[in-house]
Chains A and B, each alone.
Chain A
Amino acid sequence: MSAALPDIAWHLLTGALASYRDQPRAAAAVRRELERFEEPLRIAVAGPPRAGKTTLLGELAARRGVIFTETPTIPVPDADALLYLTPHPGESVAYELADAQVSTLARATPVDTIVVLSRADEFGGGRVDGLGSARMIARRYQRHVALQQVCQAVVAASARIGYAGRTLTAPEHAALTSLAGRTREETERYLLSVDRFVDPQAPVPVDPAVRAGLVERLGLPGVRLALTLLRTGSATRDELSGQLVARSGLDDLRDAIGELFIEWRPVLKARSALIALDALVRAQPHPDGARLLAALDRALANGHELRELRLLAALRAGRTRLPISRTASSRSGAGSRVRPGGGGAADRRHRPGPGRPAGRGADRRAGMGGGRRRRRPLAGARRGPPAPPGPPPRGRRRGAQL
Chain B
Amino acid sequence: MAPPWLDVLDETIHACAARGRRDLVRLLEDRRTRLLDPRLRVLVVGTRKQGKSQLVNAIVNAPACVVGDETGTTVPTVVQHAEKPSAVLVSGRADRTPVPVDEVGALALRRPVGGAAHLEVGLPRTLLRSGLVLVDMPPLDGAAEPGYAEAGLDGADAVLMVSDARREITRTELDFLVRAGRSCPQVLVVLTKIDLSQDWRRTAQRNREHLAEAGLPAHVLPVSADLRLRAAKTDDRALNAESGFAELVACLQQYAATKAERIAPHTAAAVTTRVLESLAEPLLAQRSAAAGQLEDLQRSLERLRRQSARWQNGLADDIADLASDVEYDLRDRTRRIIRTVDEFFDTADPAEVWDAFAPWLEENLRNAAEANFGWLVERSHWIAARIARDLAAYRADVLPDSTFWMPDQVFDSMSELERPSFGHFSLAQKLFTGLRGSYGGVVMFGLLTSLAGLPLINVVSIGAGAAFGEGGGTAAHRGLLPQVQQGVPGRGPAGAPGAARPLQRPARTAPGRAGRGGARRPAPVRRRRAPTGVRGPPAAVPPGPAGERAGAAGHRGVSERMRTNHGLSAPVPHDGGERSEVPS
B227 touches which one: A124, A192, A215 (CB < 8 A)? A192
Contacts of A192 in B (CB 8 A): 195, 227, 230, 239
In the complex the two chains form, what is the Cα distance from A134 to B143 in whole Å?
20
Nearest-neighbor residue (CB-CB) of A221 within chain B: B196
Contacts of B196 in A (CB 8 A): 122, 125-126, 193-194, 219-221
Chain A, 191-226, CB within 8 A of any chain B CB = 192-196, 198, 212, 215-216, 219-221
Tell me whether B227 and A140 are in contact (CB under 8 A): no
The contact string, 1 if C-beta is below 8 Å from chain A, for chain B 364-375, is: 000000000000
The contact string, 1 if C-beta is below 8 Å from chain A, for chain B 99-127, is: 00000000000010000000000000000
Contacts of B71 in A (CB 8 A): 90
In the complex the two chains form, what is the Cα distance from A124 to B226 in whole Å?
11
Tell me whether A133 and B195 are in contact (CB under 8 A): no
Chain A, 84-103, CB within 8 A of any chain B CB = 87-92, 95
CB < 8 Å A-B pair total: 65
A90 touches which one: B139, B193, B239 (CB < 8 A)? B139
Nearest-neighbor residue (CB-CB) of B224 within chain A: A193
Tell me whether A194 and B198 are in contact (CB under 8 A): yes
With both chains docked as a complex, state the minimum distance between the C-beta of A115 and any C-beta of chain B, in angstroms: 14
With both chains docked as a complex, state the minimum distance between the C-beta of A326 and any C-beta of chain B, in angstroms: 35
With both chains docked as a complex, state the minimum distance between the C-beta of A125 and any C-beta of chain B, in angstroms: 6
Tell me whether B195 and A90 are in contact (CB under 8 A): no
Q: Given A134-B69, A194-B198, is A90 in contact with B230 using a C-beta cutoff of 8 Å?
A: no
The contact string, 1 if C-beta is below 8 Å from chain B, for chain A 140-176, is: 1000000000000000000000000000000000000
Q: Given A125-B226, A193-B224, A195-B242, is A92 in contact with B142 using a C-beta cutoff of 8 Å?
A: yes
In the complex the two chains form, what is the Cα distance from A195 to B199 in whole Å?
9
Interface residues of B (CB under 8 A from A): 48-49, 54, 69-72, 111, 139, 141-143, 166-167, 170, 193-198, 224, 226-227, 230, 239, 242
In the complex, A31 has a CB within 8 A of chain B = no
Tell me whether A125 and B70 are in contact (CB under 8 A): no
14 contacts between A and B (CB under 8 A): A89-B70, A90-B72, A91-B111, A91-B142, A92-B142, A126-B193, A126-B195, A134-B69, A137-B69, A193-B224, A194-B195, A194-B198, A195-B194, A220-B196
In the complex the two chains form, what is the Cα distance from A88 to B170 in whole Å?
15
In the complex the two chains form, what is the Cα distance from A137 to B48 in whole Å?
16
Contacts of A49 in B (CB 8 A): 170
With both chains docked as a complex, state the minimum distance between the C-beta of B46 and any C-beta of chain A, in angstroms: 11
Tell me whether A193 and B227 are in contact (CB under 8 A): yes
In the complex the two chains form, what is the Cα distance from A92 to B142 in whole Å?
6
In the complex the two chains form, what is the Cα distance from A95 to B166 in whole Å?
26
Nearest-neighbor residue (CB-CB) of B139 within chain A: A90
In the complex the two chains form, what is the Cα distance from A49 to B224 in whole Å?
23
With both chains docked as a complex, state the minimum distance between the C-beta of A76 and any C-beta of chain B, in angstroms: 21
Tell me whether A50 and B198 are in contact (CB under 8 A): no
In the complex the two chains form, what is the Cα distance from A215 to B166 in whole Å?
13
Instruction: Across the A-B interface, give the 7 residue pairs with the lowest CB-CB distance, nearest first.
Output: A193-B195, A88-B49, A88-B48, A91-B143, A92-B143, A126-B196, A123-B69
Contacts of A216 in B (CB 8 A): 198
**Apart from the given pairs A122-B166, A125-B196, A193-B196, 20 other A-B contacts in the complex at a CB distance below 8 Å:** A49-B170, A89-B70, A90-B48, A90-B72, A90-B143, A91-B111, A92-B48, A92-B142, A122-B196, A125-B226, A134-B69, A140-B70, A192-B195, A192-B230, A193-B194, A193-B227, A195-B194, A195-B195, A198-B198, A212-B198
Tell me whether A92 and B227 are in contact (CB under 8 A): no
Chain A, 339-386, CB within 8 A of any chain B CB = none
With both chains docked as a complex, state the minimum distance between the C-beta of A119 and any C-beta of chain B, in angstroms: 10
Nearest-neighbor residue (CB-CB) of A93 within chain B: B143
Nearest-neighbor residue (CB-CB) of B51 within chain A: A125
Contacts of A50 in B (CB 8 A): 167
The contact string, 1 if C-beta is below 8 Å from chain B, for chain A 267-306, is: 0000000000000000000000000000000000000000
Interface of A, secondary structure class, is helix
> How many residues of chain A get a CB closer than 8 Å to chain B's CBs?
30
Interface residues of A (CB under 8 A from B): 49-50, 87-92, 95, 122-126, 133-134, 137, 140, 192-196, 198, 212, 215-216, 219-221
With both chains docked as a complex, state the minimum distance between the C-beta of A50 and any C-beta of chain B, in angstroms: 6
In the complex the two chains form, what is the Cα distance from A20 to B244 in whole Å?
68
In the complex the two chains form, what is the Cα distance from A60 to B464 in whole Å?
94
With both chains docked as a complex, state the minimum distance between the C-beta of B322 and any C-beta of chain A, in angstroms: 51
Nearest-neighbor residue (CB-CB) of B168 within chain A: A50
Contacts of A134 in B (CB 8 A): 69
Contacts of A212 in B (CB 8 A): 198
With both chains docked as a complex, state the minimum distance between the C-beta of B51 and any C-beta of chain A, in angstroms: 8
In the complex the two chains form, what is the Cα distance from A126 to B72 in whole Å?
16
Contacts of B239 in A (CB 8 A): 192
Contacts of A124 in B (CB 8 A): 69
In the complex the two chains form, what is the Cα distance from A133 to B195 in whole Å?
20
In the complex the two chains form, what is the Cα distance from A21 to B443 in whole Å?
70
Contacts of A126 in B (CB 8 A): 193, 195-196, 226
Contacts of A219 in B (CB 8 A): 196
Tell me whether A215 and B198 are in contact (CB under 8 A): yes
In the complex the two chains form, what is the Cα distance from A215 to B200 in whole Å?
14
Contacts of B142 in A (CB 8 A): 90-92
With both chains docked as a complex, state the minimum distance between the C-beta of A232 and any C-beta of chain B, in angstroms: 23
With both chains docked as a complex, state the minimum distance between the C-beta of A155 and any C-beta of chain B, in angstroms: 15
Contacts of A137 in B (CB 8 A): 69-70
In the complex the two chains form, what is the Cα distance from A261 to B224 in whole Å?
41
Nearest-neighbor residue (CB-CB) of A120 within chain B: B69
Contacts of A196 in B (CB 8 A): 242
Contacts of A194 in B (CB 8 A): 195-198
Tell me whether A92 and B195 are in contact (CB under 8 A): no
Contacts of B193 in A (CB 8 A): 125-126
In the complex the two chains form, what is the Cα distance from A221 to B194 in whole Å?
13
Q: Given A91-B111, A124-B69, A215-B198, is A193 in contact with B143 using a C-beta cutoff of 8 Å?
A: no
In the complex the two chains form, what is the Cα distance from A152 to B224 in whole Å?
37
In the complex the two chains form, what is the Cα distance from A288 to B405 in whole Å?
66
In the complex the two chains form, what is the Cα distance from A198 to B194 in whole Å?
14
Nearest-neighbor residue (CB-CB) of B69 within chain A: A123
With both chains docked as a complex, state the minimum distance between the C-beta of B233 and any C-beta of chain A, in angstroms: 12
Q: Given A125-B54, A219-B196, is A193 in contact with B69 using a C-beta cutoff of 8 Å?
A: no
With both chains docked as a complex, state the minimum distance between the C-beta of B138 and any C-beta of chain A, in angstroms: 10
Contacts of A220 in B (CB 8 A): 195-196
Nearest-neighbor residue (CB-CB) of B243 within chain A: A193
With both chains docked as a complex, state the minimum distance between the C-beta of B162 and any C-beta of chain A, in angstroms: 13
Contacts of B227 in A (CB 8 A): 192-193
In the complex the two chains form, what is the Cα distance from A215 to B197 in whole Å?
9
With both chains docked as a complex, state the minimum distance between the C-beta of B207 and any C-beta of chain A, in angstroms: 15
Most central of B69, B70, B170 by chain A CB within 10 Å = B69
Nearest-neighbor residue (CB-CB) of A49 within chain B: B170
Contacts of B166 in A (CB 8 A): 122
Contacts of A140 in B (CB 8 A): 70
Nearest-neighbor residue (CB-CB) of A198 within chain B: B198
In the complex the two chains form, what is the Cα distance from A192 to B242 in whole Å?
11
Contacts of B49 in A (CB 8 A): 87-88
Contacts of A198 in B (CB 8 A): 198
Nearest-neighbor residue (CB-CB) of B239 within chain A: A192
Nearest-neighbor residue (CB-CB) of A92 within chain B: B143
In the complex the two chains form, what is the Cα distance from A198 to B200 in whole Å?
14
Nearest-neighbor residue (CB-CB) of B198 within chain A: A194
In the complex the two chains form, what is the Cα distance from A357 to B180 in whole Å?
52
Contacts of A89 in B (CB 8 A): 69-70
Contacts of A195 in B (CB 8 A): 194-195, 242
Contacts of B54 in A (CB 8 A): 125
In the complex the two chains form, what is the Cα distance from A126 to B51 in whole Å?
12
In the complex the two chains form, what is the Cα distance from A89 to B54 in whole Å?
17
Nearest-neighbor residue (CB-CB) of A215 within chain B: B198
Tell me whether B69 and A133 are in contact (CB under 8 A): yes
Contacts of B197 in A (CB 8 A): 194
With both chains docked as a complex, state the minimum distance between the C-beta of B24 and any C-beta of chain A, in angstroms: 33
Most central of A123, A193, A221 by chain B CB within 10 Å = A193
In the complex the two chains form, what is the Cα distance from A192 to B54 in whole Å?
17
With both chains docked as a complex, state the minimum distance between the C-beta of B544 and any C-beta of chain A, in angstroms: 51
In the complex the two chains form, what is the Cα distance from A47 to B70 in whole Å?
18
